[in-house]
Each structure stands twice: as structure tokens, then as C-alpha cells.
Structure 1
Amino acid sequence: MSRTILITGAAKGIGRAVAENFAADAGHRLILLDLDLPELQRWVDEQQGQIKARVETHAANIADLPGMEAFFKVLAKQVEYVDVLVNSAGICNENEPEDLHNWHKVISVNLNGTFYVTSLCLPLMPDRGRIINMSSILGRAGKVRNTAYCASKHGIVGMTKALAMDLAPRQITVNAILPAWIDTPMLQGELAAQAAIAGLTQEQILRNAKKKLPMRRFIQSEEVAAMVRYLASPEAGGVTAQSLVIDGGVGLGM
């Protein structure tokens, strides 16, 4: 089944893994968005031998509403439908409770940006479309120096549930994925920062972190991509308004 699939945050991490998963299917049209267009295009160029789908890349700041409005205005002239939307773009800036700058920055990207893209994409989405939002295990919990990030990810869970109710009459499903400890550049950056604060090597921080995980390993981006693929499939037509956790057991009891 050929579909048009739009993925934000596709240059790295989970977004890249999702793009790679769908890119293996001939017939799909992938519209890949990221703020870091050179990195996104570099990955696409490197994968040319493996990519079977039609792929196009675009620079996009999802927090920039006028910019996203302009993008979708052009896109509406180029595609008839967007069958699947994967909102994977996001940032993880720590903030103290008094830090208004990072509060606005994180909320603008993670929550506002996700809603902007979804709202602007809906006129292009046919009945039985799929919307998959990337939240976090911190969409169910709290964490020191992460007020903004936790608020944004809790917000995505609430937005997912409300949108699912709005769109149910059209058979459009809306679901959120709540990952934790995913082996991505974002996690590696966080571990490096922790190592610098603690005066340890990143390898020491890595070993200590894995000891706290029930499965003693990080989740791979490809595992999250497989969950996205299921939620985008016809077989998941009855799954909506759900928050699906993939965390190796870290959130047991949450």
C-alpha cells in the first residue's frame, strides 16, 4: 500500500529510524523535515542504495508558525494527501524553575510545534489517516531540572487524547509513544553533561545508568520505529488515544 508519510525531526535519533523503516518500502512518498537540513540530506545521500521510497527533504523549524504555514501552503499544491504524520521533532533543554528562557524554548518546540504541524496537516489527511506523536516516559513523571520538558511531554499526551476524540468520527487514529533511555544523540549528550558535572567519564556514567535499568540495556531507535510502523498500519485501525510505553521496564509502577 503506497502512502505519503510526513516525519518531523528526521535527521537523527528516533525520527531517522522511523524514516529508515518506511524508506525501505517502494511506493511510499516520504516528506522528511528537520531544522538540520544538511545532516538530513547527508543521511539520505548515504542511504541511496537502500532507499526504495520516494524521499524529499525540507528544512523546517516547527516552532515557527508562519514558516510552517508557508510550508504547508506549498505542500498542499504538491500532494493530494498526507496519510501518516509522525511528530518526532523535539528538544531536551534542562531548566531551573526560574529559567523562563528555556521554558519558552522547550514548550515552543515540543508542544506548540507538534500542535502546529498536526493542525496544518489535518486538511491534507484523509479519513483513516494516522497521527503518531512522540512523547516520553516523562510524560507520566517528573524530573529535577526538567520542568519544561516534563510539561511539554505531559501536554503531548493530553493533546493526543483530545485529538483522538475530535478525529474519531473520521477514523483517524492519534496515539503517543512514550520512550525512555533510547540510545540516541540526545541521550548521549545528556550523559556527557552528567559526566562533566559528576567528574566521571562518559563510559562510567553509561555503566552506572545501565545498572539502573531492569533490562540492563538502552532501547534502540529501531525498536521505537517498529512501534510507529504498527500504529501506522491498517491493523492498528482500532488503536487510538493510547500512550504506548517503550522503556525496558524503567517506568514500572508509573
Structure 2
Amino acid sequence: MMDRTLAGRHALVTGAGSGIGAAIARRLASAEALVTLAGRRREPLEALAAEMGARDVFVLDGFDVTSPEAVASGLARARDAFGPVSILVNCAGEAPSASFEKTSLDMWNQVLSVDLTGVFNVTQAVLPDIKAYGAGARIINIASTAGLTGYAYVSAYCAAKHGVVGLTRALALELAKRGVTVNAVCPGFTDTPIIQRSIAEIIAKTGRSPDEALAEFVKVNPQGRLVQPEEVADCVLWLASPGASSINGQAIAIAGGEVMSG
């Protein structure tokens, strides 16, 4: 049976060119949402759009979440294509690694600018659409288990993702009476290009085998594996659906039991 859960809804997905963002875009389109694929580089966005083979997909390149001007102009183009946004998925992010003492101020500022301030910039720009749509509108932030606990050598990333979770909870309360929900999805180590690059760096720096390098990431997951992007996307699709109307202000860990709340 065809899933028409989100038929006609305009969903804007940042960081849609690969990994989790691309998986989310596919899932939302499968529910017949009108999906704007937002990112900085056109090539991966066009490749994804061609793969999806959907006419109800708009490629929005040059979408730099750290620039309010780029966000505003890009959002105007997206609205021209599909109308006001009623589902926002903030997925753009980066995760460079360094010990705290070797984390430069430039690295710190860059990570917070993309991973935290980027969420602020895009959400604030889209908020008039979300509020106008009212009940049923969704803001879904892709955070990380690094927003729920700490990890060594990614202090800037942890700080930024903790900030995303805090922002999610505050905005959820502000919008609750409108029937708008705001939630964070917190994946553990996920099989994405970011992880593959990290594995390659471990191999290059330590001489470990690919299996040994992978083991560094899967050992924290009680299931002993990497999370798949599609698992994260399934959670996002559920949060975007009418059935999740009472789920608000939550930070949902997708991590095989690595992080538990309660």
C-alpha cells in the first residue's frame, strides 16, 4: 500500500547530500512529501534527486547554514518551488576530531557555527511558516548521542550537540500550544561518509586493519554494530507523522542501547 502520510507537505532537509540527510529525504519522499534537498554543493544533491526519480524534489544548493543571508535566499527559492515549509529537518553538521588541548579556536567556532548556530539560523528563518501551518508542523533536529553524553576528542562536537538538545527542549515548550512538535534524534555511530573518513584516518595514522579501526566505533554499541542511516530516517518519518503528535521536546537515542534515559 502506498504511504501518503505526508502527501503535499513541504519538507526541508538540510545536509541532504549524503548519509543520514539523504536517507531522511528518501523516507519523507516515500510518504509523498514535497522534499527540498538543501546543501552547499550541487553535485551530490542532483545525484540524489536523480536517484530518487521524483518530480516532487527540489534541489537547493548554496545553502550555507552558517549564513543567515544564504538561508534567507535559499528559503525563498524553496517556497517558490513548493510553498511554505511545514516539516523542517536540521541535519547539516560536521564532526572534526582533536584532543581538547589541540582544539583551536577556529575549529571550535566552525563546529559550533555549523552544528548549533546553523540550527538556530535555519529554524528561525523557517519559523514563520511553521507557526502559520500550526498543528501538525514539525521541527526535527538531528543531534547525536554526543548531545546526551560525552566522548573524548570531540569536545566541540559534544558542546554543539548538547546545545542542539537544549534548543530543542526550549523551543518545544514555546510551540507546544500551537500543536507544533520539536524533537531531536540522537544517532550513535552511524554508517555514513563521516565515519568512513574517520576509519580511514585511524588506518592511516595507526596502521590498524579496517576491521580493527571499525571495532573502535562499534564497541560502544551494545548491539556491536554501526547504526544504519535508514534507521535514523525511519524515526524521523515517524516523528513527522500524525501518530507522533504527543512526542514533543524529546531527544531520542538511536544507538542500540548505548545511551539510555529515564
Query: TM over 0.5: same fold?
Result: yes
Asked if residue 167 in structure 1 is aligned to residue 170 in structure 2, the reply is no
Match in the other structure for 2:64: 61
Provide the C-alpha distance between the structure 2 equivalents of 1:75 and 1:222, rounded to a whole number of angstroms.
25
Provide the C-alpha distance between the structure 2 equivalents of 1:83 and 1:209, rounded to a whole number of angstroms.
35
Provide the C-alpha distance between the structure 1 equivalents of 2:51 and 2:243, rounded to a whole number of angstroms.
32
Distance 1:19 1:75, change over 3 A: closer
Matches within 5 A, 1:84-163: 84-95=87-98, 96-97=100-101, 98-125=103-130, 126-128=133-135, 129-163=137-171
Matches within 5 A, 1:1-254: 1-26=7-32, 28-48=33-53, 51=54, 54-59=56-61, 60-95=63-98, 96-97=100-101, 98-125=103-130, 126-128=133-135, 129-252=137-260
Offset, 1:253: 7.3
Unaligned stretches of 5+ residues in structure 2: 1-6
Offset, 1:201: 2.3
Offset, 1:185: 0.8
Q: Is the 8 A contact 1:177 1:244 kept in 2?
A: yes
Distance 1:2 1:240, change over 3 A: same
Q: Is the 8 A contact 2:168 2:183 kept in 1?
A: yes
Distance 1:145 1:212, change over 3 A: closer
Unaligned stretches of 5+ residues in structure 1: none
Letter in 2 for 1:9: G
Moved more, 212-221 or 67-76: 67-76
Q: Is the 8 A contact 2:95 2:111 kept in 1?
A: yes
Letter in 1 for 2:115: N
Percent identical: 35
Which string of whole-angstrom CA distances, capped at 9 and with x for unpartnered residues, describes residues 189-216 of structure 1? Answer: 1122222232212232124543443112
Moved more, 174-183 or 67-76: 67-76
Give the paired residue count.
Answer: 250
Distance 1:159 1:238, change over 3 A: same
Q: TM-score when scaled to structure 1?
A: 0.92
Offset, 1:45: 1.2
Distance 1:65 1:208, change over 3 A: closer
Which string of whole-angstrom CA distances, capped at 9 and with x for unpartnered residues, describes residues 90-122 of structure 1? Answer: 001124345111101100000001110000001
Distance 1:78 1:132, change over 3 A: same
Offset, 1:40: 1.2
Provide the C-alpha distance between the structure 2 equivalents of 1:75 and 1:62, rounded to a whole number of angstroms.
14
Which string of whole-angstrom CA distances, capped at 9 and with x for unpartnered residues, describes residues 140-197 of structure 1? Answer: 2222221110010000000000000111121110000111011111111112222223
Provide the C-alpha distance between the structure 2 equivalents of 1:190 and 1:253, rounded to a whole number of angstroms.
28
Moved more, 182-191 or 73-82: 73-82
Q: TM-score when scaled to structure 2?
A: 0.89
Provide the C-alpha distance between the structure 2 equivalents of 1:13 and 1:78, rounded to a whole number of angstroms.
24
Provide the C-alpha distance between the structure 2 equivalents of 1:180 and 1:32, rounded to a whole number of angstroms.
23
Provide the C-alpha distance between the structure 2 equivalents of 1:43 and 1:80, rounded to a whole number of angstroms.
21
Moved more, 82-91 or 66-75: 66-75
Letter in 2 for 1:57: V
Provide the C-alpha distance between the structure 2 equivalents of 1:89 and 1:101, rounded to a whole number of angstroms.
19
Offset, 1:74: 4.2
Letter in 2 for 1:92: A
Distance 1:82 1:212, change over 3 A: closer
Which string of whole-angstrom CA distances, capped at 9 and with x for unpartnered residues, describes residues 10-63 of structure 1? Answer: 11111100111122234x211110112201101211331xx3x60011111111
